[in-house]
Amino acid sequence: MTTQPRLLMSELSTAMVWPASAVVAPGGDIAVAGVGLAELAEHYGTPTYVIDEDEVRARAQAWRRALPDADVVYAAKAFLCRAMVDWVEQEGLGLDVCSAGELELAATRGFPPERIVLHGNAKSPQDLRTALRLGVGRIVIDSDCEIARLAAQVPGPDAQRVMVRVLPGIQAGAHHKIRTGAEGQKFGLSIADGDAEEAIARILGQHRLELVGLHCHLGSQITEAEPYAEGVRRVVAFMALIRDRYGVTLPELDMGGGFAVAYLPGDPAPAPSEYGRLITETLADACAEHGLPVPRLTVEPGRSVVAPAGIALYRVLSVKRTTGRVFVAVDGGMSDNPRPALYGARYTVRRVGRASDAPMRSATVVGRHCEAGDVLADVVELPDDIRPGDVLAVPASGAYQVSMASGYNMTGRPPVVAVSGGRSRLLVRRENFEDLRHRDVGL
């Protein structure tokens, strides 16, 4: 471990995108949780994903403090492995899953099924069978097709508790591909055109289903709290309509996730307390206005729990200076991080493990894959003496990278390493050619 590290006090402009434990160490390295990143790259190879366990726990705790009377449910799609299941359970969070695979993984760790919420706009028969077998606490109905299908499978005698995902007609989120609360997309049932009310009426006629509340998810990377407040106002007004027309007062409201984190210096990233304060205040006011009891609130942070705890490590393979540009190619790319190609995500990049006095120059960090769109970070500042063999660290990489990784070009998905208290441990091993070969059974 690198000795005598110093805090990132000289780099306050970039410190917000790194875990709180990150310090600059002699020799140009950065240590996270007391472990040098260059040392990790050497030991585990590259690409490698590093997760600061204490950062994950601290962020889970921050959400619990921000909403002490609500249910905080971790959105597993951001990143999930067995260790993550354990951390979430130990910190008192629930788990939001989207597939039978995520459900089965949670079950292997003994996660309490009553604290699990199952989502999905197109749940497979296996998804529903697994959820019913394990006894998940809530299933979120996303289309009218699911109602009879689910009711027919409930074994009884107890009814399955369900929620209905509604569309409040709100545009929120960093990119049009991750705005999920607006009209005219695949998620949820519209309040405005009557689809949500029709689904609720059908559910109330199914004795095997118990409607306990409404669910609403506005989008991702939402950088201010006001869209959540507007979502609360619209959904509470709809809850009042349901009470008036059907005589049913729903006891629960799930406002989903989508809370923003900083990827670049200066990115807005409100604290959980800021979101929590406005959501709870608006909920109380809206319920008072409509004469409703305040429902039990649920939120589903995923990215905001794990993204700032993760760092991707790459090794430079080539440096190309052409047409006035510098292309730094690394040994990963869109196979381990498709976010830039999918919706233009941007990142901070830093060289670690080698100090120099070279001036900083604008460069584009690209991946190794056969796609012109395989760009990890465009227009970032790197030392002018960047060269093959150097290690690059990309902070804020804990969410929607490993979980969305693919087998493109048969490069194999990267490992995940946890760091805490000056030690590292392997959570997920690197996918190798033997793994890929064993899946190929065509001969």
Q: Domain residues of the chain, as ranges?
A: 6-52+308-439, 53-306
Check for a shared fold between 6-52+308-439 and 53-306: no
Q: Are 72 and 299 in contact (CB under 8 A)?
A: yes
Contact (CB, 8 A) for 427 and 52: no
**Alpha helices, DSSP H, located in 91-134:** 100-108, 125-134
Omega before 251 cis (within 30°)? no
Strand partners, 97: 118
Q: How many CA atoms lie within 13 A of 380 on its CB side?
A: 25
What are the φ/ψ torsions at residue 376 (nearest 5 degrees)? -85, -40
- Using alpha carbons, select from 37, 49, 112, 87 the residue that is nearest to residue 305: 87
CB 436 within 8 Å of CB 410: yes
> Does the pTM exceed 0.85?
yes
What is the 8-class DSSP label of residue 192? T
User: Any idea which residue has 């040098």 for tokens?
Assistant: 36
Give catalytic status of residue 370 as yes or no: yes
Q: For the chain, which ranges sit under pLDDT 50?
A: 1-14, 173-179, 181
Q: What is the CATH number of domain 6-52+308-439?
A: 2.40.37.10
Per-residue pLDDT at 323: 85
Q: For the domain 53-306, what is the CATH code?
A: 3.20.20.10
Rounded CA-CA distance 327/329 in Å is 6
The confidence score (pLDDT) of residue 17 equals: 94
β 160-167/209-215 pair status: parallel
Tell me what pLDDT residue 4 has.
Answer: 41
Dig out the tokens for 322 from the structure: 């052409």
Q: How far is CA 139 from CA 109, 135, 156, 326, in A?
A: 20, 10, 15, 50
**How many other C-beta atoms lie within 10 A of the C-beta of residue 39?**
18
Beta bridge partners of 4: none
Question: Of the residues 145, 216, 287, 370, which is catalytic?
Answer: 370
